[in-house]
Each structure stands twice: as structure tokens, then as C-alpha cells.
């Protein structure tokens, strides 16, 4: 059964939280990153990129130790402070279209090893190793792994009641999000919640597979799989009905030697193809695909004769597109590394797909219907792996808001 644990978080002081927290480092374009580092001395980005003012080339280990040193400076300057008592935290994120509320707590590396915490994505060994070394030398983690638990009315009511109290943090971001954080440190309340989660058979990783695997390696390296902070994963636990899953649309740079008519003829082997001309077509259900090619939109619907699936992976739209189009027709075998394919989050409007193709950078684009949580769970339960870039999942957590020391 699933275990959760409280911990003594390191957090920004209340008066500085809106200046300290930041988006994930990779989300910033260069100009925005430079502006933050130049004009906001309190940004957590200074910890994540401590060598900004000294652009010397250094080894990974030295850079990670610089991260730890800068982190210690933020603590020494009372920009970050550590809570006195172990606690769990409720975090609410409100944006223009959605509201997400979840529980921040430690989950168990042992549970991950024993498949109580389940995964659905493949991982890259070199990236896992980099993350493991990063956390080893930095000695903290500030990006929770997003995990889902089955909808639970008892937990939902408890969270609702907690959120009626004055939040420890309440602040807005430049992306027009509002963030709230409540600290729960009453031991009886924490024990009650732990007992609820112990009745939960499985947790499912929604986002953060590499980080989870890296923490497993770190625990194994220190022979600490049974206890201590290195056996725990900083996690953001959220109800299945409260995640938002977007698709990743596919952009392909050429037709692999096919003419337009030959390409469409090849598609008709497995799909009913209809030219929608200038009317954008976005899939409304599984096994439908939109396509933009040579100034026209098309609808592609998988033929019924091809709708025979023996595994959850085979029924996944990203796999259907790969097996019937990307691999056999367009010659794209490696979805992760082939330079002829790029991905565009479904958060971006369909017009972005059209624009990139009209500008000549790509030849054809495919629009997909987003996966759902049931598909993710079915794959995880079957120990199968989604194709790369199958889902873009929200919420996304801000770095520097809640820090777990290792």
C-alpha cells in the first residue's frame, strides 16, 4: 500500500515568495532567463544557474557543488528558511482555465521499486545519471514528481476544508497564475491522512519519471532504501480527475520522397481520408487525426478493420500514428532522436501547426486527440511504455516553492 511521509520543507519567507519561485529552468527562453538573472537577485534561478555572472566552463560536479553553495547562501541570507516541524502541504494553482489542488509529501522509493508507484514512460539512462549526480551534490530537490491517486471523496472533502483557512502563501505570477500553499503539521491529522493513503493500492507517475528513477539510484548508491530522506521522493499528489492532459502534435519536415498524391494514397490503406480544405479539423475522439498538408486540412479516421487491439499500447493514438504512418510511410523509426520530427504541445492553437508548415519549415503536421488518465493507468498496469511525447500534463510546479533536502 502507498506510503506518504511529512518532511521539514525549506521555503521562501512569506514576503519574498513571489520573487523567489520560478518556472522550471528549461521553460525560459534565453532573453527571459537573462532578464530574470539580471534584475531579480532573489530568483531561484540564481541557484539553478549559479555561474551566470562567471561564464567559465566547469565540470558537472563543480557546477552542481556551486548550486549547493548558492543554495546555502540563500539560506544564510534568510531568503529561504526551514520549517521547524515535519509537515505535509496543500498546494493550489489557479490559472485562466483550470484549478489544480494537490498534496505535497514524501513518497517511498521502496514503493517505486515494488511497483506500488507505477510508471508509463521510458527513461534515458544518461539523463537519469545527470539528475542523480545533480541531487547528490546539490543536496536538495525542488521539483516534485506529479503522481495521481484514485478519486477519493474523503480526501477531497479534507482538502476543501483545509483550503478554507488562511493560506501560508498566496501570490501571483507573471503568467497570471495564482498559487496558494497551506502547511499541515498536526501529527494526528498527518497520521489520519497516512492511513487513508495506506489503503490506496497504487500511485501513478504522471510527470517526473526521470527524477523518480534518479532518486532510486541515489538511494541505492547510499544503501538507504529502508529509511532516511534519501528513500523518499518529493511528490505532488493529485486526484485523477484533477489533472489536465494535452496531446503533443507531430510536425514532419518532408514526405520521405512521396509526392502529395502518393502520400495520400498510402494513408488511405488504413484511414478514411477527407479533404477539409481551409476548415481546420481537430480530432473529437480517439482514432481520429487531423492533418495539414499543402495549405489544406484533412481528417483521418482509422478504418474499422484496423481497430483490433490486443494491448493498451496498440490502442493508443500516438502508437497508431507511428505504426501506420510515421514508420512505414515517412520512415521515422526513432521518435526521440530523428531530426525530421518535432512536437508541438496541444496547449498551442492549431494555427501554430499551420503557420510552421506554411513557412516551409515542415511539410506535414498531424493533430491528435489527447490521451486520458485511464489510458495512462492501463499502460502502467500492463507494464507498457508510451511512445515519446505522448502527453503534456498539467499542473506544472514552480521551483523554489517547497524544497526537500536530501
Distance CA 332, CA 351 (A): 24
Cα separations (Å) of 269 from 250, 262, 272, 298, 329? Answer: 20, 12, 8, 15, 11
End-to-end C-alpha distance for the chain, whole angstroms: 24
Question: Which pLDDT value is given to residue 54?
Answer: 53
CB 129, CB 14: distance < 8 Å: no
Burial of 312 (0-12, 13-18, 19+ CB in 10 A): buried
Distance CA 271, CA 329 (A): 13
Low-confidence ranges of the chain (pLDDT < 70): 51-57, 224-229
Distance CA 2, CA 110 (A): 10
Question: Which pLDDT value is given to residue 221?
Answer: 87
The model's pLDDT over 369-390, given as tens digits with 9 standing for 90+, comes to: 999 999 999 999 999 999 999 9
The model's pTM is: 0.92
Sequence ranges of the domains in the chain: 4-245+394-405, 248-369
Question: Which pLDDT value is given to residue 51?
Answer: 64
CB 229, CB 7: distance < 8 Å: yes
Question: What cell numbers appear for 187 in the block?
Answer: 501529527
Question: What cell numbers appear for 67 in the block?
Answer: 548550486
Burial of 170 (0-12, 13-18, 19+ CB in 10 A): middle
Chain center to CA of 65? 26
Question: Which pLDDT value is given to residue 109?
Answer: 95
The model's pLDDT over 4-19, given as tens digits with 9 standing for 90+, comes to: 999 999 999 999 999 9
248-369 CATH, one of 2.60.40, 1.10.10, 3.40.50, 3.30.1760: 3.30.1760
Amino acid at each position: 500500500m502507498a506510503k506518504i511521509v511529512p518532511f521539514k520543507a525549506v521555503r521562501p519567507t512569506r514576503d519574498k515568495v513571489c520573487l523567489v519561485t520560478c518556472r522550471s529552468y528549461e521553460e525560459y527562453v534565453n532573453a527571459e532567463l537573462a532578464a530574470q538573472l539580471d534584475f531579480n537577485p532573489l530568483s531561484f534561478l540564481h541557484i539553478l544557474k549559479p555561474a551566470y555572472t562567471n561564464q567559465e566552463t566547469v565540470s558537472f560536479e563543480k557546477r552542481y557543488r556551486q548550486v549547493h553553495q548558492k543554495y546555502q547562501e540563500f539560506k544564510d541570507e534568510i531568503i529561504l528558511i526551514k520549517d521547524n516541524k515535519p509537515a505535509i502541504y496543500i498546494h493550489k494553482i489557479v490559472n485562466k482555465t483550470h484549478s489544480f489542488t494537490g498534496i505535497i509529501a514524501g513518497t517511498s522509493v521502496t514503493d517505486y521499486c515494488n511497483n506500488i508507484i507505477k510508471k508509463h514512460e521510458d527513461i534515458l539512462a544518461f539523463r537519469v545519471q545527470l539528475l542523480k549526480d545533480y541531487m547528490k551534490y546539490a543536496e536538495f530537490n525542488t521539483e516534485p514528481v506529479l503522481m495521481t491517486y484514485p478519486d477519493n471523496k474523503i480526501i477531497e472533502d479534507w482538502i476543501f476544508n483545509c483550503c478554507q483557512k488562511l493560506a501560508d502563501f498566496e501570490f501571483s505570477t507573471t503568467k497570471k497564475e495564482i498559487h496558494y500553499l497551506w502547511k499541515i503539521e498536526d501529527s494526528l491529522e498527518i497520521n489520519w491522512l497516512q492511513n487513508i493513503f495506506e489503503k490506496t493500492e497504487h500511485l501513478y507517475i504522471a510527470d517526473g519519471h526521470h527524477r523518480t528513477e534518479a532518486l532510486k539510484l541515489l538511494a541505492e548508491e547510499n544503501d538507504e532504501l529502508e529509511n532516511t530522506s534519501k528513500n523518499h521522493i518529493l511528490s505532488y499528489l493529485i486526484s485523477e480527475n484533477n489533472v489536465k492532459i494535452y496531446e503533443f502534435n507531430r510536425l514532419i519536415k518532408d514526405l520521405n520522397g512521396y509526392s502529395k498524391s502518393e502520400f495520400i494514397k498510402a494513408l488511405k490503406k488504413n484511414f478514411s481520408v477527407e479533404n477539409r480544405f481551409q476548415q481546420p479539423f481537430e480530432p473529437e475522439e480517439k482514432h481520429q487525426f487531423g492533418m495539414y498538408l499543402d495549405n489544406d486540412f484533412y481528417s483521418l479516421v482509422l478504418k474499422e478493420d484496423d481497430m483490433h487491439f490486443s494491448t493498451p499500447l496498440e490502442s493508443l493514438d500516438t502508437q497508431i500514428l507511428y505504426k501506420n504512418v510515421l514508420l512505414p510511410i515517412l520512415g521515422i523509426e526513432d521518435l526521440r532522436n530523428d531530426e525530421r520530427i518535432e512536437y508541438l504541445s496541444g496547449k498551442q492553437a492549431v494555427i501554430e501547426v499551420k503557420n510552421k508548415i506554411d513557412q516551409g519549415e515542415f511539410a506535414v503536421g498531424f493533430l491528435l486527440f489527447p490521451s486520458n488518465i485511464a489510458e495512462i493507468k492501463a499502460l502502467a498496469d500492463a507494464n507498457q511504455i508510451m511512445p515519446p511525447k505522448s502527453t503534456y500534463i498539467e499542473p506544472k510546479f514552480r521551483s523554489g516553492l517547497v524544497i526537500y533536502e536530501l
